[in-house]
Structure formats: structure tokens, C-alpha cells
């Protein structure tokens, strides 16, 4: 692991690292914000999964999350959205497949299978790396994300009961097996005929098949262009949660779009939500 950047913010430090990933078989980049409390004690961690076309840089620059993390004594862990490098498979003419669009799944199909193991990376390899090298509490973590990363946060929590104290999302892709973004990536990464594999990475399908978590917080803007295009489908998530006894707090935020302006408006409330869960004994 090599540190490539360190910036002081709100009396803590925003650091950036590269390392070779055994899961993705390439160099990966991630950022960690350590609040000032981390200088004297171990702190809980909030993992943030970003959306299509993003890297770790988008959230740390645009969301304003570090202020709230410092106030609440929480480390922020911000991975990249896909493997990178000249040897990594890509579709350079598409923004929604390949680099920047890992979709937080473990690919099973060529040419993706060697590097696109983002589910293992964000649920196992990266948390192990963080807990071994940073002053964070072992196993005391929550997860959140935006759009494709909101999808990632939901499936990581649902597929790993007890691994995350809480889960939230902004404008998540709730039902990827039934939308263009998800169908395009799942066909490439998982294979057109492998519908059981598809279902295992779909929050709605997971809930309908018995996966559960205690509580989910989702913020969705009503002026989100991808909401009207049918890419996000929060109503399907609401129905699945209602039918299966999961407490979903779906907040439809009037007039907000899909951008980081929307996220920056409500990120403080999400961090407060996660702080409450992370503080429980």
C-alpha cells in the first residue's frame, strides 16, 4: 500500500492510497478520511460506493462529507468504482460498462472475469486492508452510496447480514435486472442466461428471496432524470420491503436531481443516521 496524497481537513486528514488488489488483479486506488478523533482512538468506518463514471475522487471533493465525519468521529472509506489499468478489459465507447462501471459484482464471463471482482473487493479485501492498517474499530462499519453505488450498498448489506451496522443510499439502482443499466452490465459480466446470478446482485430480488436487514434509508430526488427513465425504480424497492417486513425510509425529495448537489444537501443527515447505528453497543 502506497500513500499518494494527504490533505488536512477539519482537523483530520484526507489520504489517498494505491495498492495491488488480489481480488481485482490490478492496482486499485482508494481514499480514507480520518477524523481528528482517530489520532487518539479507533473510530468506526462508513464505506461510500460511488456511481457510474466516478472514481474515489467525486465524493471526497463534491459531497462535503468530511465536515460531518469530523464532527461525529467517523472514518470515511471511499473506493474506486472499478478496476483500472491498460490490461483491464473495457468498452471505451460506453460510460455504463467497463472502467468506471464495475457494478459491484463478481464477473464470471470473459474478458471481465480476471479483473472485475468488485463485490469481493468492497466486502472483504478492502475492509480487511483498512482494519489492518488504520485506526478503525474492527467490524464496526456502515455502508452508503449513490446510484450504481447505492445499488452496491444495498446488496452488500443484504448479502452480508450483520456485517454493516446500517445502510443508506442516494438514488440507488434498486432493481438492476429490470433496467437498462443493470441488464447491460449483468449480460456482460454475468452472462445472458445466468438469471440466478443476476438475482443475487439485485436488491429487490434479494429481498423477495428472503434477504433482510433491519432498516434502510433512501433519498431520491423527484427531478432525477434517471427516475423518469426507469433506471432506479424505488417503488419496486418499497413494495419488496413492505411485502417482507423491512423498515424502508424512502424520502422523495422534491425538486432534487441525480447530482452531488443533491447528495451534499442531505449527506449530513445520512452520516447522523449512520453515527447512531455505529454508536450502539
Active-site positions? 147, 224, 258
Sign (positive/negative) of CA torsion 175, 177, 182, 186?
positive
Which of 124, 122, 87, 91 lies closest to 104 in space, CA to CA? 122
Residue with cell 419488496: 240
Alpha-carbon separation of residue 280 from 16, 26, 138 (angstroms): 29, 37, 14
Amino acid at each position: 500500500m502506497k500513500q499518494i496524497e494527504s490533505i488536512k481537513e477539519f482537523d483530520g486528514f484526507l489520504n489517498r492510497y494505491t495498492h495491488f488488489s488480489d481480488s481485482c488483479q490490478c492496482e486499485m486506488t482508494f481514499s480514507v478520511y480520518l477524523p481528528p478523533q482517530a489520532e487518539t482512538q479507533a473510530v468506526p468506518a462508513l464505506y461510500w460506493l460511488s456511481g457510474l463514471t466516478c472514481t474515489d475522487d467525486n465524493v471526497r471533493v463534491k459531497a462535503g462529507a468530511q465536515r460531518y465525519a469530523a464532527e461525529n468521529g467517523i472514518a470515511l472509506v471511499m473506493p474506486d468504482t472499478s478496476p483500472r489499468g491498460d490490461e483491464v478489459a473495457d468498452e471505451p465507447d460506453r460510460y455504463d460498462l467497463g472502467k468506471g462501471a464495475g457494478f459491484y459484482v463478481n464477473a464470471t464471463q470473459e474478458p471481465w472475469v480476471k479483473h472485475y471482482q468488485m463485490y469481493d473487493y468492497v466486502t472483504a479485501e478492502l475492509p480487511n486492508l483498512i482494519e489492518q492498517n488504520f485506526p478503525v474499530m474492527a467490524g464496526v462499519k456502515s455502508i452508503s452510496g449513490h446510484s450504481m453505488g447505492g445499488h452496491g450498498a444495498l446488496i452488500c448489506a443484504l448479502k452480508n447480514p450483520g456485517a454493516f451496522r446500517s445502510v443508506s443510499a442516494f438514488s440507488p439502482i434498486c432493481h438492476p435486472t429490470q433496467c437498462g443499466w443493470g441488464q447491460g452490465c449483468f449480460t456482460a459480466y454475468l452472462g445472458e442466461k445466468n438469471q440466478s446470478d443476476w438475482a443475487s446482485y439485485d436488491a429487490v430480488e434479494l429481498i423477495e428471496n428472503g434477504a433482510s436487514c433491519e432498516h434502510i434509508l433512501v433519498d431520491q430526488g423527484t427531478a432525477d432524470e434517471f427516475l423518469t427513465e426507469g433506471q432506479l425504480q424505488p417503488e419496486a424497492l418499497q413494495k419488496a420491503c413492505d411485502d417482507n417486513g423491512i423498515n424502508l425510509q424512502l424520502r422523495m425529495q422534491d425538486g432534487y436531481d441525480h447530482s452531488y448537489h443533491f447528495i451534499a444537501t442531505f449527506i449530513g443527515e445520512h452520516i447522523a443516521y449512520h453515527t447512531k447505528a455505529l454508536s450502539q453497543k
